[in-house]
Structure 1
């Protein structure tokens, strides 16, 4: 449908770039689509959204990015995306082992062998993959060894991100530290990458980041929530992707995981829980009532067989007013950084395995979760997620010269059910072009690929890991 342009304030200063001619999926309050529309970018923010003629009239002589025939959307939000550990061992971890073996036979040795350069190239790889898939914001749910290096790499790639360093204080677990030391390390990262209100650049922001599960004492959980409040930032942790966390919390306190956090006073709008698959109806209600957000990573749960179709209640959570976002998890779980694919999967599963009495997720609602809803869930609802005046200019241009777009039908259904990630042509983050014609502009991709291959081989060697093969690899002259 068409829409009247939103007008900037009188005598508005000039713009730096006009994205013109495309169907602009605004995700504003009215969910308007401006056919043949335009977006004016001034500095890091959106100055105007309207018809191409109106925008050109308001900002004559401004450089243009031609999006004629394309579809323009807000950048997508990936609210649970690991950037270290797995990227250099992508598709290497066997898929016939249980979660414990995956952690202690693979993840722990890999993290133990990671050098700063490994974390750097891993973060760059993840950011490049995200940007090329139209993902402009990621929540990094924890790196072990070199968070400052990871933050610098994410900033270099030009992606909007939150950043954390994993913390836990359970004795006899690798990399464990006492609660006080864990919190001090959290504080160090946040002070190095402060929120915008505290002088940060608004692009990479430190968050309190616990590994979660059942690997945090009550002292650490409460301290983490207090630290996030003190430093005015977000807080994220993993909880209940599988039934294991339910069993652990039942033994620990006789309560479910979310019930235990509620009893401690940890649940709040600052908290983003990664997963929350194995939650009771009462816990789902409690999460919604406290404003606690959830990042759902549907492909990871299917890939790892964690029980999403048996226990997941993410759509009921959303229907009850819960703050829901999508995530793609790690490169040996969610595998691809593809939020459109995650939206498609969550919507499809809600159709095929519905919860009694709860309407399934429709395409337009799934795209909301991928954009404006995801931004709100991670506390950036006034910053990104929609193409409206005053928000950051985080936008994606999809080319439509591809079977996934021919013919052009209803925008939401085409974006979700076709999941045309491969047709991302251009991406802006905070007004900066970071993808042009399908390739990142912030670094040399070919150099990155070569660097990653080199570091991967060295990392696996240092970790003492040999990748098992399903098929024999031969070399024949």
Structure 2
């Protein structure tokens, strides 16, 4: 199948030169882009060759599909359930964990499909999920069914708290908390061998762990080493708040990333989620070891992680660290709209540092596309619109009021546009969102089921009653 989309008003390629093409064309064959350029040049190269479908792109602008470098698809049924006045550690241990503990396999199947549909509607074509609450296959099958691209994993930890908080079910504890790092790594390896390369390679599986206090140093270091041996990556939460880093210093004499560095825990197949509380030395260490970071602006704002107060994300980027953007889960951020994260990151540090040059539209767009793809080790195939890469892209309706009028496409994409003006989302050469609906599922039926399941989980978890808002776990 060969499709030509011609006379696009613009194509933001996000290539190495950040070219923005006018009156441009995309030529798709199967799942690949086989030509990208000005329409006249693409037509000249095409010559008399046959095209199966020809699309007039005059009212559209195109950009690469967005890459969500940190998401919790098993959390999608928890939207607006947890209070917005919680610090990170209390949020995790007394609200998120009980919710996760009562997400059954059937719930997670709905959660994954619902989250994938929201991502496609928002222009996200690839994701890195932190780990399934049940089996990694639930996420793999659900994402494959929708048609999105992504990386799944199996959740794992090996350090139970001394006192189990209310709401933590025995089933969750047994599934999540392994007796030691060796047993955990065996289960993680099994998940990778089963699911990596699923759906024709569109779904990958990594050695993902929870990170932070619930994981031993041996599990942090071992996960990266196992991932390297298996030829995949790993991701986990670390240094996600100043409280976490200070607790690490109290217990181990150093901040978390320094502890990893001292024990050969850093590497170029590792994506650190959040990494809000770092020292200058730790920033340099990440750059030296090629370790990537997933920054979640909405999550930082809601949970007061300190991205603009103590975060060193611009410094990481300037030192060469691949910093991608993540939505986190819907409870942490409120949404799975990566486009909103692009908008936020373009302005947060300008305002905090009172420096309009520190990070703008161009850098923000790269963070949500090619830099995220680089963090995921997938930038050879996605993240930019270039010949030979996967046909993952977003078309914006330029007749929408968000685009009338506009001059600079990059600024309009970042500061003016939103998912409201997304007309189509393509993954691997397939239109997965078009004409106002996700093409691969019945969203009406899915949403009705999601509402019922979400309410049942909240009641099983006891989150409709009084729940602690502070914690002393692992202290």
TM-score surpassing 0.5? yes
Alpha-carbon spacing, 1:50–1:69, altered in 2? closer, same or farther (3 Å): same
Residue 427 of structure 1 aligns to a residue in which SS? Answer: strand
Shift in Å, 1:222: 2.2
Alpha-carbon distance in 1 for matches of 2:205, 2:97: 24
Alpha-carbon distance in 2 for matches of 1:119, 1:214: 25
Higher relative contact order (CA 8 A, sep 6+): 2
**Deviation digits for residues 322-375 of structure 1, max 9, x if unmatched?**
11100110111111122221122112111111289x951011111111111211
- Residue 324 of structure 2 corresponds to 325
Corresponding residue to 2:157 among 147, 164, 168: 168
Alpha-carbon distance in 2 for matches of 1:419, 1:214: 39
- Residue 412 of structure 1 corresponds to 410
1:127-142 matches, within 5 Å, as: 127-142=116-131
- Residue 125 of structure 1 corresponds to 114
Alpha-carbon spacing, 1:262–1:359, altered in 2? closer, same or farther (3 Å): farther
Alpha-carbon distance in 1 for matches of 2:430, 2:293: 29
Residue 331 of structure 2 aligns to a residue in which SS? Answer: coil
Alpha-carbon distance in 1 for matches of 2:246, 2:55: 54
Corresponding residue to 1:386 among 376, 384, 387: 384
Alpha-carbon distance in 2 for matches of 1:361, 1:19: 32
Shift in Å, 1:176: 1.5
Alpha-carbon distance in 2 for matches of 1:257, 1:289: 17
1:270-349 matches, within 5 Å, as: 270-349=269-348
Residue 346 of structure 1 aligns to a residue in which SS? Answer: helix
1:244-259 matches, within 5 Å, as: 244-259=243-258
- Residue 154 of structure 1 corresponds to 143
Residue 272 of structure 1 aligns to a residue in which SS? Answer: strand
1:43 aligns with 2:41: no
**Deviation digits for residues 378-406 of structure 1, max 9, x if unmatched?**
11110101111111110110001122111
Residue 236 of structure 1 aligns to a residue in which SS? Answer: strand
1:106 aligns with 2:95: yes
- Residue 20 of structure 1 corresponds to 6
- Residue 168 of structure 2 corresponds to none
- Residue 446 of structure 1 corresponds to 444
- Residue 469 of structure 2 corresponds to none
Alpha-carbon distance in 1 for matches of 2:309, 2:38: 47
Shift in Å, 1:467: 7.2
Residue 249 of structure 1 aligns to a residue in which SS? Answer: helix
- Residue 371 of structure 2 corresponds to 373
Contact conserved, 2:160 with 2:177, CA < 8 A, in 1?
yes
Alpha-carbon distance in 1 for matches of 2:43, 2:53: 10
Alpha-carbon spacing, 1:397–1:219, altered in 2? closer, same or farther (3 Å): same
**Structure 1 residue runs without a partner (length 5+):** 1-14, 469-477
Residue 227 of structure 1 aligns to a residue in which SS? Answer: helix
Alpha-carbon distance in 2 for matches of 1:325, 1:88: 24
**Deviation digits for residues 195-232 of structure 1, max 9, x if unmatched?**
4xxx8722111011111113221221222111101110
Alpha-carbon distance in 1 for matches of 2:335, 2:160: 33
Contact conserved, 1:40 with 1:49, CA < 8 A, in 2?
yes
Contact conserved, 2:349 with 2:359, CA < 8 A, in 1?
yes
Corresponding residue to 1:192 among 191, 194, 205: 194
Q: Normalised by the size of structure 1, how large is the TM-score?
A: 0.90
Alpha-carbon distance in 2 for matches of 1:54, 1:98: 55
- Residue 471 of structure 1 corresponds to none
- Residue 9 of structure 1 corresponds to none
**Structure 2 residue runs without a partner (length 5+):** 165-172, 467-475
**Deviation digits for residues 395-454 of structure 1, max 9, x if unmatched?**
110001122111121111111112422111111111111111231111111111111112
In the comparison of the two structures, how many residue pairs are matched? 449
- Residue 55 of structure 2 corresponds to 65
Contact conserved, 1:344 with 1:419, CA < 8 A, in 2?
no
Contact conserved, 2:302 with 2:332, CA < 8 A, in 1?
yes
Contact conserved, 2:239 with 2:257, CA < 8 A, in 1?
no
- Residue 352 of structure 1 corresponds to 351
Residue 191 of structure 2 aligns to a residue in which SS? Answer: helix
Corresponding residue to 1:455 among 429, 453, 462: 453
Q: Normalised by the size of structure 2, how large is the TM-score?
A: 0.90
- Residue 471 of structure 2 corresponds to none
Corresponding residue to 1:183 among 170, 175, 185: 185
Alpha-carbon distance in 1 for matches of 2:283, 2:89: 27
What is the CA RMSD across the aligned residues, in angstroms?
1.9
Alpha-carbon distance in 2 for matches of 1:351, 1:218: 36
Residue 210 of structure 1 aligns to a residue in which SS? Answer: coil
